[in-house]
Amino acid sequence: MAGPLLHTAQWVSFCEGDQTAFLQLYEAHYNLLFVWGGRWVKQDGEWIKDQLHDFFLYLWEHRSNLSRDINVRSYLLTAFKRHLIHGLSKNKLVMSPAETLDLPAQSDAGETELFTEQFGKVERAMQLLSPAQKEVVQLRYMQNMSLQEIANHKKASLRTVYNLMHRALVHLKTELLKKNFFYLW
């Protein structure tokens, strides 16, 4: 995982009002927090997307009050979880209560560690796929399309789709088998 030290530097710049550093942090943690959000709520991805946006806006507005000496990733995971749970229970109104920021990061440390590890596996597996392979996997399993339907959708031959899918599955199996997981796709 690209150095936590790097993110610490970005975090400090962000606290001082650096927009670029802030957006880099958002980009770097987007997938992690999105998947993490899916652990806590049953809502669809659109909802998680909106919550993530609101959460980062909240951070931006309160940047001057944020602690600078933190583990960025665990902090974001824990704070975002609080944000979601608070949002679910109280339908998240105009201002988040201050406790969203004051949470003790270590309390959920075990939980976030475990998640980070599992997420790393998924991320490595996904990074092995080319964009075309990813698209095919997505259409096949997320949208339940048959290989023929995918071929029609992509205006490609059935053979091409089949090859893409086959190579994708080989990649994923290889990565996930390392961890004793056989992965279907």
Partner 1 sequence: MEQITVEYLLQQKSFLQYCLQSDDAAVRQWEQYLQAHPEEAAVVHEAASIVRDSALYMQAETLKPAAVDRLRQSIQEEETVQPPVRKMLWKRIAVAAAIIGIIALVLFWMLPAKKAQQPIAARSKMVITAGDSSYNIPARKMLALQDGSFVLLDSGASIRIDPAFGTRERRVYLSGTAWFKAAKNSQHPFRVITGNIRTTALGTAFRVDASQGAASVQIELEEGKVAVERISSAGTELLATLMPSESIKVYQQQNRTTQKLPFAADRLQAWKAQEIIFNDAPVADVLSQLQVLYNQPILLEDTLLNGATFTGRFGHDSLSTVLDLLCFSLNKKYRTTADNKILIY
The residues binding partner 1 (CB under 8 A) are 19, 22-23, 26-27, 30-31, 34-35, 37-39, 45-46, 48-50, 52-54, 56-57, 60-61, 89-91, 93-95, 118-119, 122-123, 125-126, 134, 137-138, 141-142, 144, 176, 181-185
* Contact indicator for 129, 138 with CB cutoff of 8 Å: no
* Contact indicator for 163, 133 with CB cutoff of 8 Å: no
Half-sphere exposure of 120 (CA within 13 A, CB side): 11
Which stretches of 125-168 are assigned E, i.e. beta strand? none
Q: Which is nearer to partner 1, 95 or 170 (CB)?
A: 95
Q: Which is nearer to partner 1, 19 or 106 (CB)?
A: 19
* Contact indicator for 72, 79 with CB cutoff of 8 Å: no
Helical (H) or strand (E) element with 128 = none
CA distance 68 to 15: 7
Smallest distance from partner 1 to CB 98, Å: 11
Smallest distance from partner 1 to CB 96, Å: 12
Smallest distance from partner 1 to CB 62, Å: 8
Structure tokens at 47: 């909802």
Smallest distance from partner 1 to CB 176, Å: 8
Structure tokens at 17: 């009002």
Q: Which is nearer to partner 1, 4 or 38 (CB)?
A: 38
Q: Which is nearer to partner 1, 37 or 74 (CB)?
A: 37
Smallest distance from partner 1 to CB 23, Å: 6
